[in-house]
Structure 1
């Protein structure tokens, strides 16, 4: 009996030992699996944190140093057209324009865009732009389109005073409802340049000549100061009506705009002006004090941080004979007659230097305003259908460009 009891106890002991061993192994396996999972999660978190640290460093990296900037390309030297590529720039139709499926009049019309319609330029092919207008892609003939100057010539100083406090005067006298007034909106955040900037549209072909003039100015340590490109017709009419009323009331102002051989129409067009058509700019000249290099994609470009405007023959937008650049009227339809004209006595060396920069680039001076230059080539190219400017351009469509679409 005792022997049998011992045998039973031994079996029970073995079973307990086996049970404890199985439980221990099970606990060990579970613990090992949990440890591996925790380790993997920790490693994943660590990798993610390391990635975040790297990304943060990239975001917080300082602006490229001057030595690094030299590694970037100069688009003007590469293209001879602009300081930055046109893709991603804001464009606007100057007339009602057909949006087509391809860069040819043989392709189907998608829709007709109203005059003054804004869009983002994607690419160029011959005489056509591929554009994005409200999420729809298509092609338009670019000779009938404006381009926003700051998008492609960012080194110019833009100061469209008519959009915040007009400097337009006549014989040194304020024009009621005009002088010091905001005449229209044309200022918005520019995503491409990452700053608030004026919207300064001109016809595409004229923009190329303006860029040439600016490069000559920069080479001499100077800069163009553009006060206006496109001007809405409604604003033009307001100036005409207000100045006309002042002329009727003030003999001095009347004399200033009608002194023979001049007439008021030389100082403010009473009809559709070249500003509405898109091939006129009002521009002055400044001395560069401080500039800075910026980067956009693979290209470097300059912006002017500080400048001093030269003392010009008169203040900008002085509508009177005080601002004439030639002693007598010269047909604004001629691209050559101005070369034979006699310079007015009030024109100083800075005024002549501005004229030199602009005319060397192919722009034509207006005899009655030292600051006004036209592009008669654009006039000829768009002769069949020209803008009448019965719209406002108030929005910016500029984007950071995709340089694969150049």
Structure 2
């Protein structure tokens, strides 16, 4: 009995030990038995006779055990991918897939844990077609179509782990695949096009057998995008702009700018989800037009968007000239004068602080009162206005249609430097007036028009020249224009050289002084003798004064004022050559001073403008009742047409006053009175001096040419300028 109990105890101990050993063998710490997702095994035949076997993915880190049994061949292989390429095997065959996990048991032995479930299939042989696939990409999806329809099922396949595996299936002749990353694949990345093929298939118990893939079609990300670029412009800081846009349909992008009537390519950025282009600091008031377009693989345009805008207006880096000898101070808060800057000195604005400009003068950075500075409108108001300072190259002054020698088509004294070689016209205008002008210009643009400025500041030198020269011609016969627009002297019929005022000999083309052709005057008759009454000093009859008839002289006919012809005689034709004075003044109703100031004018103080209106697209000027700078009564405002009235509305609405004899002239009397401006400039201004931009300082000559690749001496100091005209020797700011 006692022996039996020992045997039972020993057996129990052995069983316990065996249980412990078994537990130690089967327990794999830290390793769970894997699970396998349900689904069909996919068997894909390749064109080279190999097979690709795929099954549902069990997740990251999974390992799979694949067992394949075919006639004369058995395969047992592990793989970390949910697919396996097999060569030398053809249907029929049996295949089984399990999920597997590996670890060490409590005995330190390697253990493999397989899923309790498995995917099994007995794959039968079949003959399957190789279809032809076409694809039509659209926003977020692709529509696929194919010919045939003989097979029970078709699958659109994407390349995964080197194998074209199904991503969508259909039993018909087409399908629609969305790229949403959920039910369908995710959008392909830029530069990583997605290749898609089509396989014909036949389903079986637990599997689908697919035939060889069709020729692939390529789908790029850009072909799946929408038609909106959302192009916008952002002002990062004053006059510093960025262009931003998002991706859209297309595989290539192009950024273009409108310049001189045509699109110019600026950049062809690589495809991305979003884009940003730094435009830098733009010129004050400058107009800009940009376009972004996309193209497909064939280079055809897909999406286009355009944005246009005017840069904000500020005097930063604008050229200015003091209209008076102007005090300068150390700071905007310190009003004590450190000296004076001579009137007409060319300066560059570095900062605006209240009513003060910070400028550089003789290597010092100082502050001046902006109210007494003329600003260059072409740099300040920019494209809000158009500019054509004809006095700087070919003056338009005429008396109605009659050109005036040494004035018309000439450079007017004082304007010699107003047309620069590199940056166009200088258009000096008093800064407070320029701010008002901007208001008028913006109002005009809102209505589809642009202010076009022909003259702003006029040096007093030009004022006196124009008046004195015109006054000397008032009694002269007015020149006329022939069919070729040549100026012609009506007396001789010869052409006139407008630059010199000389006649052009029609035979020799030599210039001839008209004075040399004058006949010597006859001696006037003595007092009491018969003859015509003497003329007054001007040779003109005063308005309203009658010339007394001589005793015994026949009466004039009331219709013509001519003497009647003797019986049987043809009356002698007396040529009528209208003078400049008669055309200009309407025989005395106006005077020369109505159009040209004799001594000083508002132009000399930088507060007056001569301007007109044009269409906002720069295509054409609006027709007025006369040409601009027509020095005649035809220009009087009582004759204003609707266009002239519209111009006046814009200008007076901004606080400007007109002139009764000139529809084009407006001046800012309010500003003149507010700042007590009484001085004016005699000489013209120029561009000569230092100018700055975000890159640095450059130096210009009076004609606006930048010195490059040279050394210049300015105010006793030598500066070296690089090939772009910049110097590194400017005083620290």
**Alignment TM class, shorter chain as reference:** 0.5 to 0.7
Distance in 2 of aligned mates of 1:221 and 1:73: 15
Alignment equivalent of 1:356, drawn from 639, 649, 662: 649
Distance in 2 of aligned mates of 1:154 and 1:144: 21
Change in Cα spacing, 1:253 to 1:104, as seen in structure 2 (3 Å) is farther
Change in Cα spacing, 1:136 to 1:248, as seen in structure 2 (3 Å) is farther
Aligned position for 2:632: 320
Stretches of structure 2 lacking an aligned partner (at least 5 in a row)? 1-254, 256-264, 269-276, 280-289, 294-304, 478-577, 696-733
Contact 2:327 2:337 in 1 (8 A): no
Change in Cα spacing, 1:391 to 1:105, as seen in structure 2 (3 Å) is farther
The answer to whether the aligner puts 1:371 opposite 2:664 as a matched pair is yes
Aligned position for 1:159: 388
Shift of 1:401: 5.3
Higher relative contact order (CA 8 A, sep 6+): 1
SS at match of 1:307: coil
Shift of 1:252: 3.4
Aligned position for 1:230: 457
Change in Cα spacing, 1:350 to 1:108, as seen in structure 2 (3 Å) is closer
The answer to whether the aligner puts 1:116 opposite 2:344 as a matched pair is yes
**Superposition TM-score, scaled by structure 2 size:** 0.38
Taking the TM superposition and a 5 Å limit, the aligned residue runs for 1:5-404 are 61=267, 65-66=290-291, 83-104=312-333, 106-109=335-338, 111-155=339-383, 156-183=385-412, 184=415, 185-188=417-420, 196-250=423-477, 252-259=579-586, 260-289=588-617, 306-325=618-637, 344=638, 346-383=639-676, 385-395=677-687, 399-400=692-693
Distance in 1 of aligned mates of 2:292 and 2:669: 42
Distance in 2 of aligned mates of 1:170 and 1:104: 52
Contact 1:175 1:242 in 2 (8 A): no
| Runs of 4 or more above 6 Å deviation | 67-73
Distance in 2 of aligned mates of 1:70 and 1:136: 44
Shift of 1:215: 0.6
Distance in 2 of aligned mates of 1:256 and 1:401: 53
Q: Could you report, residue by residue, the CA deviation over 1:317-366 in whole angstroms, capped at 9, with x for unpaired residues?
A: 001111000xxxxxxxxxxxxxxxxxx2x321111111111111111111
Contact 2:451 2:611 in 1 (8 A): yes
Distance in 2 of aligned mates of 1:241 and 1:248: 13
Aligned position for 1:40: none
Contact 2:358 2:368 in 1 (8 A): yes
Contact 2:475 2:579 in 1 (8 A): no
Give the number of equivalent residue pairs. 296
Shift of 1:88: 0.7
SS at match of 1:120: strand
**Which protein has the bigger helix share?**
1
Contact 1:280 1:375 in 2 (8 A): yes
SS at match of 2:450: strand
Shift of 1:146: 0.5
Contact 2:474 2:581 in 1 (8 A): yes
Contact 2:351 2:357 in 1 (8 A): yes
RMSD over aligned Cα atoms: 2.7
Distance in 1 of aligned mates of 2:649 and 2:332: 37
Distance in 2 of aligned mates of 1:309 and 1:361: 21
Change in Cα spacing, 1:96 to 1:288, as seen in structure 2 (3 Å) is same
Change in Cα spacing, 1:315 to 1:398, as seen in structure 2 (3 Å) is farther
**Superposition TM-score, scaled by structure 1 size:** 0.67
Change in Cα spacing, 1:182 to 1:309, as seen in structure 2 (3 Å) is same
Asked which structure has the greater CA Rg, the reply is 2
Shift of 1:255: 2.5
Contact 2:349 2:359 in 1 (8 A): yes
Change in Cα spacing, 1:316 to 1:73, as seen in structure 2 (3 Å) is closer
Q: Could you report, residue by residue, the CA deviation over 1:100-158 in whole angstroms, capped at 9, with x for unpaired residues?
A: 1122563341x311110110011122221111235321011111110111112111110
SS at match of 2:686: coil
Distance in 2 of aligned mates of 1:134 and 1:158: 31
